[in-house]
Structure 1
Amino acid sequence: MTPQRWVYLRKLLSGFPSFPSSFSSCRPRVFSSSQSAADNMAEEAKKLAAYSAVDNNVQNNHVVGVGSGSTVVYAVDRLAERVRQEKLNIVCVPTSFQARQLILKHGLMLSDLERHPELDVAIDGADEVDSELTLIKGGGGCLTQEKIVAGCSKFFVVIADYRKDSDALGQQWKKGVPIEVIPMAYVPVSMTIAKHFGGEVSLRMAVSKAGPVVTDNSNFILDWKFEHTHNWKEVNTAIKMIPGVVETGLFVNMAQQAYFGMEDGSVKVRKAPVN
């Protein structure tokens, strides 16, 4: 643990009650408090990244692509705050039903790609970001619409906390690459991916209902747990060519900038390498 993180944890823990050391039954509470402090740190990091990205990349009269996930919630909070305070004229295009509901909840102007096919900026989260800003996305199931919106934007910005920052994909995110597939094709697609690229492919199952997860596009999601680093551009193209594949959660050469909320309360900004 870095000295900065220890100081930050102590600040977070200072608000929790202390107990005499003689009470052995208090030990589970200390663990619980530490876990709560770590969760609070991650949430604060998400907020810092989201606020910084919105402040630095959204201007008046912009059409903004709004991503999905827990970090984007903070981005929409800040966007709505700036619209109110600065009287901005902002149009929002969502990547999912969740994003659409966030936009409506905050009273922001909702649109779509039919009316606004070109976006000034898109802001979205990621499950993992490598050193070249290659992303794994789709942990929440919205990868296809997220990639469409990102592809329509002039500038694509990623927001995340320090846990999503990796040198190479698979270092932090252990659940694999999400792949959206037509339902009737999930078995042959799974077999083809495992045969050509190795690893393990599984159909993502729902938690609160029986059966598989169903996307906003009424498709299934496969999770491919790869065994080693690949040439992600080539792999992404090859998987997309398999009949039945709708889209992959590999975002290659798409993000121009990433904002990471860090453990010490700072924000790290990383730009994509110049090809």
Structure 2
Amino acid sequence: MMLKTWIRKSVTRQMTTIGNKVEAAKMAAAFRAVDENLKPNDRIIGIGSGSTVVHVAERIGQSSNKDSFTCIATGFQSKELIISNGLRLGSIEQFPKVDIAFDGADEVDSKLNLIKGGGACLFQEKLVASAASKFVVVADYRKKSPSTLGVQWTKGVPIEIVPNSYAKVTRDLQEMGAKSVILRQGGSAKAGPVVTDNNNFLIDADFGAIEDAEKLHSSIKQLVGVVEVGLFIQMADQSYFGEESGEVSIWSK
């Protein structure tokens, strides 16, 4: 019994150490990305969502000139991050041209193509990123895929759809070769599907390793019922990765 207790405590300590390393990696990447890319004359700043962007918002909130710029949110969590860090909140309707946007990613390949949408905010994230003159990604080392997308992130490509189209879109994706197509559920917190900030449903379609992300994106986007696809093709300008060692690596176009 004592041996089992010792093993359990040892595993817990190891998991805590790993968790602390990952969090430190996220913070290092976020702080450096902001320090190297946020310019004094930037007036409209997009702030995405996710665990790494928490540190982005924190760093931007430490800016001495934060009263001189406005931040655009990509969803509810993003809005909360902006407000809680004392930043001025604006909307994409007010400011359709964004100077710079920071966001996380579920996976990044060597061409800076991304899979996003694990946090169910992909449409608004893509809207803000597409409006930005510069789009900077921040992530930790677990999100890097030197080859193709769909290798590190194996939960499938997130796809936002109009609710009553889910049966048709599911069938269409299966005919396109998806290994599995899952209507994302709310889990223990909600009976039924996840509902996005835009009152839509989310489908996760697993195509395995994605050899041609641009072609797949185009094919899915053309399906009737699809609002947006969680493949961000050639949108990012740079990606900052917090490494397990504590260093930060950068991929650029």
Q: Counterpart of 1:123 in structure 2: which amino acid?
A: F
- Does residue 197 of the first structure (1) align with residue 162 of the second (2)? no
- Secondary structure of 2:81's aligned partner: helix
1:212 shift after superposition: 0.3
TM-score, scaled to structure 2: 0.95
Aligned: 1:46 with 2:4: no
SS at match of 2:46: strand
Does the CA-based 8 Å contact 1:61-1:91 persist in structure 2? no
Q: Secondary structure at the match of 1:191?
A: helix
User: 5+ unaligned residues in a row in structure 1: which ranges?
Assistant: 1-22
Count of matched residue pairs: 249
206, 215, 223: which one aligns with 2:204 = 223
> Given that residues 203 and 221 in structure 1 are in contact (C-alpha distance below 8 angstroms), is that contact kept between their aligned partners in structure 2?
yes
CA contact under 8 A between 1:61 and 1:88: conserved in structure 2? no
- Distance apart, 1:232 and its partner CA: 1.0
Per mean C-alpha deviation after superposition, the further-off stretch among 180-189 and 87-96 is 87-96
Query: 1:87–1:170: structure 2 CA closer, same or farther, 3 Å change rule?
Result: closer
Question: Which residue number in structure 2 is paired with residue 27 of structure 1?
Answer: 7
1:87 Cα deviation after fit: 5.8
Distance 1:112 1:230, change over 3 A: same
Report the CA distance between 1:188 and its aligned residue.
0.5
RMSD: 1.4
- The CA deviation string for residues 32-67 of structure 1, in whole angstroms up to 9 with x for no partner, is 100111011111111111101111111223111000
Deviation above 4 Å: which 4+ runs of structure 1?
Answer: none
Structure 1 residues 238 and 81: CA distance shift in structure 2, 3 A: same
How do 1:1-275 and structure 2 match up within 5 A? 24=3, 25-62=5-42, 63-83=44-64, 89-167=68-146, 168-207=148-187, 208-272=189-253
Instruction: Provide the C-alpha distance between the structure 2 equivalents of 1:133 and 1:40, rounded to a whole number of angstroms.
Output: 26
Rounded Cα–Cα distance in structure 1 between residues aligned with 2:9 and 2:178? 43
Helix, strand or coil: the match of 1:186?
A: helix
CA distance in 2, matches of 1:115, 1:45: 34
How many Å separate the matches in 1 of 2:212 and 2:37? 30
Q: State the structure with more CA Rg.
A: 1
Unaligned runs of 5+ in 2: none
Tell me how far apart the structure 2 counterparts of residues 157 and 197 of structure 1 sit (CA, whole Å): 32
Instruction: Report deviation, 1:245.
Output: 0.2
- The percent identity for this pair of structures is 45
Deviation per CA, 1:136-184: give whole Å up to 9, x if none: 0000000000000000000000000000011221221111100000000
Quote the offset at 1:112 in angstroms.
1.3
8 Å CA contact 1:67–1:94 kept in 2: the answer is yes
Cα distance, 1:124 vs structure 2: 0.1
Paired AA for residue 219 in structure 2: A
Calculate the TM-score normalised by the size of structure 1: 0.88
User: What SS does the aligned partner of 1:82 have?
Assistant: coil
Q: CA deviation at 1:229?
A: 2.3
Q: What is the CA–CA distance in structure 2 between the aligned matches of 1:228 and 1:201, rounded to whole Å? A: 15
